[in-house]
Structure 1
Amino acid sequence: MHLAMIGTGYVGLVSGACFADFGHHVTCIDKDTAKIDKIKAGVMPIWEPGLEGLVKSNIQHGRLSFTTDLKAGIERADAVFIAVGTPARRGDGHADLTYVYEAVRELAKAATKPIVVVTKSTVPVGTGDRIAEILKEEGAPEGCSVASNPEFLREGAAIRDFKIPDRIVVGAEDDHAREVLKEIYRPLFLNQAPIVLTGRRTAELTKYAANAFLAMKISFINEVADLCEAVGADVQEVARGIGLDNRIGAKFLHAGPGYGGSCFPKDTLALLRTAEEAGVEQRIISTVVSVNDDRKAAMADRVAKAVGGSLKGKRIGVLGLTFKPNTDDMRDAPSIPLIQRLLEGGAEVAAFDPVGREQAEPLLPGITFAEDEYETAAGADAVVIVTEWDEFRALDLEVIAQKMKGKALVDLRNVYDRAEVERFGLVHFGVGRGQYGANSV
């Protein structure tokens, strides 16, 4: 089939490349000429394992192309996916649909035949209804359909998630749209990927509900971690004990500094705004948001206690800046409020991230960016593990201890065991590890 993808950000570029790899002919469209030129030259706008090779391969095989010309890009398309940004609107948390509706208006004017318009962007309930209205208002050809096909990709594992999905959700109001999307995803049926066919509004809400539930699991285990510290239990063993129950599952039960990234923070807020407009209280999700905000703000206090109570004049080494490993995404990363509060407390901060420096530098003025993890530790009173990159899972702790001025390893991701760290003369401060007392933070 011939597909068009409006937007070459995270969702659009990954989805477009994967659809092309299935054998479809895909044209990705973006207004940013510089971005399109870089992609054509093999320079990816995002860091995602395997993406560069996938894009280059499908360009070479003639299945994937890029353009800034919307009319030419959709000329042969059977379906056009909208994958533009829907950031949280400043001030109220609503999803900003400016880019979505702008794309639809331009699409309506450029279309010369009936097409299926599919939202891949994360949008509030009812957005598909408004898209259908705009298509009519702007004179789109008769017979156009509108569908919702939310993505469930994890940054750092997006290609695998696209090709081996837990489920494919298709929300449509007519048989034609459903059949077109079933044909687009037919290659995945060979792997027996479950497809959920439902209405547009249900599909739109499914995406928000899924992310809100996962955010809730993270906030839940973080609160359990605090309780573990108070009563002398180990949160990792608690998480394993409950995660083996298949009604609960082990994923997203890892205690840490709170959730961040491009999805959970904005989607939980957008769900709350949707519920507010509908007059339906969402007390659990409201609490999840508050717990997470408080969690991120409290991380600097843990570091302060690990170095004796005051940050003034202390040098703190921070390992990991992105919100999770295997991405360069800094959106709502827990490292940002942590470092800001460290600086406000009078600390000097050196940080290292394997791929996130370019995105982090404009967000974190006033810190030193180290060349590697060992330079980060040099002269540090404490080293803080914020993002659990693989590079940080097998540090030479003997070298770290030799380079540090102090002894505190604040392990916000529970990468290390206490006994392992203490063999090298360091003091381990984990999260919810049942060790608190003499070493309490």
Structure 2
Amino acid sequence: MKIAVVGAGYVGLVTGVCLADMGHYVTCIDINENKVERMKNGVSPIYEPGLTELLKKNLEVGRLVFTSDHRKGFKEVEVIFIAVGTPQNDDGSADISYVEDVAKTIAFCAESDTIIVTKSTVPVGTNDRLQALINLHKANDITIEIVSNPEFLREGSAVNDTFYADRIVIGSNSEKATKKMKEIYQDFNIPIYLTDIRSAEMIKYASNAFLATKISFINEIANICERVGADVEKVAVGMGLDQRIGTSFLKAGIGYGGSCFPKDTKALIQIAGNVAYDFELLKGVVNVNSKQQTILVDKLKKKFHSLHGKRLAILGLAFKPNTDDLREAASLMVIDELVKEGAEVICYDPIAMENAKQTIIHPQIRFAASVEDAVKDSEAALILTEWDEIKSIDLKVFTHMKTPFVLDGRNCYSLEQVKAAGFEYHSIGRSAVNLQSENLLI
């Protein structure tokens, strides 16, 4: 099938590449001409495991094309996916102006019957608005129908999530459009859930809000565990054995970040507010996450009282492993707090360094070439991203610090490992390893 995908960001590029790999002929359209040229040459603009290999493969066999020309990209296609950004407005609502612009462009350029598939995360009711907008602006007597097909991709495993998803949600009011969508996805062998458009829109928000809620819940439990002498990791396992709860998203840490959870939780609060409903639970989730992101700074202040002039190592900058994405990353908030306190900050990340150098700019901030370089002569190290490289490092490296004091925001090491290595260690929801007493302390 001939398909166009508008927007070559995380969702659009992964969707386009994977559809091409399943045998469809895909044209990815993006207004950034420099990015388009790079992709034409097989260079992915984002770091996503497995994506570059699939991009090159499908370019070579002729199933994948990139262009910045919408009219050319829409020519003879049967289905157009919209995968442009819906950034957050000041009030927390989603800005759908880019989606509306694409819908208008399709209306002006489409020359034959077309199905529009909204991949972008949009507020409930948006697709109905887009349908009315298209009907108003379409240039000729053709049929353009809209389908809601929300994505559930996790950055760092987006390719795998596309091919091995739990479900594919299709929201449509048209039998013809539904049939076409089934044809697109038939070779994926993934369960398809059919529903109406507005329910499909809500499924996306509700799913992300629920996962964010699980994260904030286990972080609150972790904070209590530290105070009562329990171990949050053992608590999470015991909880997760209950099939009604499950173990996923019960890993304590310094909160969620990225392009989806922060934006979608706030957008759902706004959606509720628009219909005069106060979503108190989700407001609590957002507030808990905001406080959790700076919990290591609070622990650091208790240790040193003043951070002025302290040399502090930051290990991990991306909001999660296997991505170079810094959007809503805890590292940004932590570093900002440390700089305000007058600390000297040395940063390291295996993948996100180039993005960080363009995002985190301050005379008190420097970048290291390795974990070893970052912690050398440092008075404390803060682990903010659970990269495999950081999790598997020889822990003796921390004993060479000026002050062997580690604050682990992702619980990367067992307490037994740390005791054997010999440095002071504070994590989330577990007892601290304190060198002075050589005991586990609350």
- TM-score category, normalised to shorter length: over 0.9
Per mean C-alpha deviation after superposition, the further-off stretch among 379-388 and 357-366 is: 357-366
Indicate if the aligned counterparts of 2:3 and 2:78 stay in contact, CA closer than 8 A. yes
* Secondary structure class of the residue paired with 2:416: helix
Q: Which residue of 2 aligns with 1:343?
A: 339
Aligned counterparts of 1:151 and 1:55: Cα–Cα separation in 2: 19
Q: Which residue of 2 aligns with 1:395?
A: 393
What is the CA distance between 1:109 and its match in structure 2?
0.3
Aligned counterparts of 2:352 and 2:159: Cα–Cα separation in 1: 20
Residues 148-206 of structure 1: per-residue CA shift (max 9 Å, x gap): 000000111111100011000000011011111010000012xxx21110011000000
Indicate if the aligned counterparts of 1:38 and 1:44 stay in contact, CA closer than 8 A. yes
Residues 256-281 of structure 1: per-residue CA shift (max 9 Å, x gap): 11110000000001001100001122
Indicate if the aligned counterparts of 2:424 and 2:432 stay in contact, CA closer than 8 A. no
* Secondary structure class of the residue paired with 2:346: strand
2:312 paired residue among 313, 316, 319: 316
Counting matched residue pairs gives: 435
Indicate if the aligned counterparts of 1:231 and 1:434 stay in contact, CA closer than 8 A. no
Aligned counterparts of 1:343 and 1:281: Cα–Cα separation in 2: 36
Residue pairs, 1:275-294, within 5 angstroms? 275-294=272-291
Residue pairs, 1:216-235, within 5 angstroms? 216-235=213-232
What is the CA distance between 1:394 and its match in structure 2?
1.4
2:208 paired residue among 211, 230, 237: 211
* Secondary structure class of the residue paired with 1:361: helix
Q: Which residue of 1 aligns with 2:79?
A: 79
What is the CA distance between 1:399 and its match in structure 2?
2.8
Q: Which residue of 1 aligns with 2:59?
A: 59
* Secondary structure class of the residue paired with 1:261: coil
Indicate if the aligned counterparts of 2:296 and 2:407 stay in contact, CA closer than 8 A. no
Residues 337-395 of structure 1: per-residue CA shift (max 9 Å, x gap): 11111111121110100110121123222211000110001101111111000001111
What is the CA distance between 1:423 and its match in structure 2?
2.2
Indicate if the aligned counterparts of 1:300 and 1:339 stay in contact, CA closer than 8 A. no
What is the CA distance between 1:440 and its match in structure 2?
6.5
Are 1:373 and 2:383 counterparts? no
Aligned counterparts of 1:69 and 1:39: Cα–Cα separation in 2: 15
What's the % identity of the aligned pairs? 47
Per mean C-alpha deviation after superposition, the further-off stretch among 346-355 and 136-145 is: 136-145
Tell me the amino acid that sits aligned with residue 247 of structure 2. Answer: A
Tell me the amino acid that sits aligned with residue 296 of structure 2. Answer: M
Are 1:334 and 2:333 counterparts? no
Structure 1: runs of 5 or more not aligned: none
Indicate if the aligned counterparts of 1:36 and 1:66 stay in contact, CA closer than 8 A. yes
Indicate if the aligned counterparts of 2:419 and 2:433 stay in contact, CA closer than 8 A. no
Tell me the amino acid that sits aligned with residue 55 of structure 2. Answer: V
Aligned counterparts of 1:399 and 1:414: Cα–Cα separation in 2: 17
Aligned counterparts of 2:270 and 2:87: Cα–Cα separation in 1: 14
Aligned counterparts of 1:436 and 1:171: Cα–Cα separation in 2: 52
Q: Which residue of 2 aligns with 1:118?
A: 117
What is the CA distance between 1:237 and its match in structure 2?
0.4
Q: Which residue of 1 aligns with 2:352?
A: 356
**RMSD of aligned C-alpha atoms?**
1.4
Aligned counterparts of 2:249 and 2:50: Cα–Cα separation in 1: 24
Are 1:27 and 2:23 counterparts? no
Q: Which residue of 2 aligns with 1:50?
A: 50
Tell me the amino acid that sits aligned with residue 226 of structure 2. Answer: E
What is the CA distance between 1:436 and its match in structure 2?
7.9
Residues 129-148 of structure 1: per-residue CA shift (max 9 Å, x gap): 01101111112543211010
What is the CA distance between 1:308 and its match in structure 2?
2.6
Aligned counterparts of 2:47 and 2:300: Cα–Cα separation in 1: 30
Q: Which residue of 1 aligns with 2:18?
A: 18
Residue pairs, 1:409-428, within 5 angstroms? 409-428=406-425
Give the TM-score of the pair, scaled to structure 1: 0.96
Indicate if the aligned counterparts of 2:425 and 2:433 stay in contact, CA closer than 8 A. no
Aligned counterparts of 1:303 and 1:205: Cα–Cα separation in 2: 40
Q: Which residue of 2 aligns with 1:108?
A: 107
* Secondary structure class of the residue paired with 1:46: coil
Q: Which residue of 2 aligns with 1:144?
A: 144
Are 1:258 and 2:255 counterparts? yes
Aligned counterparts of 1:422 and 1:409: Cα–Cα separation in 2: 12
Residues 87-124 of structure 1: per-residue CA shift (max 9 Å, x gap): 101x2111011110011111110000010001000000
Query: Structure 1 pair 396/417, CA: closer, same or farther in 2 (3 Å)?
Result: same
Indicate if the aligned counterparts of 1:218 and 1:258 stay in contact, CA closer than 8 A. yes
Aligned counterparts of 1:9 and 1:357: Cα–Cα separation in 2: 19
Are 1:274 and 2:310 counterparts? no
Indicate if the aligned counterparts of 2:223 and 2:429 stay in contact, CA closer than 8 A. yes
Aligned counterparts of 1:195 and 1:122: Cα–Cα separation in 2: 19
Structure 2: runs of 5 or more not aligned: none
Query: Structure 1 pair 249/431, CA: closer, same or farther in 2 (3 Å)?
Result: same
What is the CA distance between 1:302 and its match in structure 2?
1.7
Q: Which residue of 2 aligns with 1:187?
A: 187
* Secondary structure class of the residue paired with 1:410: strand
What is the CA distance between 1:424 and its match in structure 2?
2.6
Aligned counterparts of 1:435 and 1:331: Cα–Cα separation in 2: 30
What is the CA distance between 1:418 and its match in structure 2?
2.1
Residues 65-98 of structure 1: per-residue CA shift (max 9 Å, x gap): 0111111111111110000000101x21110111
Q: Which residue of 1 aligns with 2:9?
A: 9
What is the CA distance between 1:283 and its match in structure 2?
1.2
Indicate if the aligned counterparts of 1:230 and 1:436 stay in contact, CA closer than 8 A. no
1:433 paired residue among 419, 430, 435: 430
* Secondary structure class of the residue paired with 1:57: helix
Indicate if the aligned counterparts of 1:168 and 1:196 stay in contact, CA closer than 8 A. yes
Indicate if the aligned counterparts of 1:393 and 1:415 stay in contact, CA closer than 8 A. yes
Indicate if the aligned counterparts of 2:314 and 2:348 stay in contact, CA closer than 8 A. yes
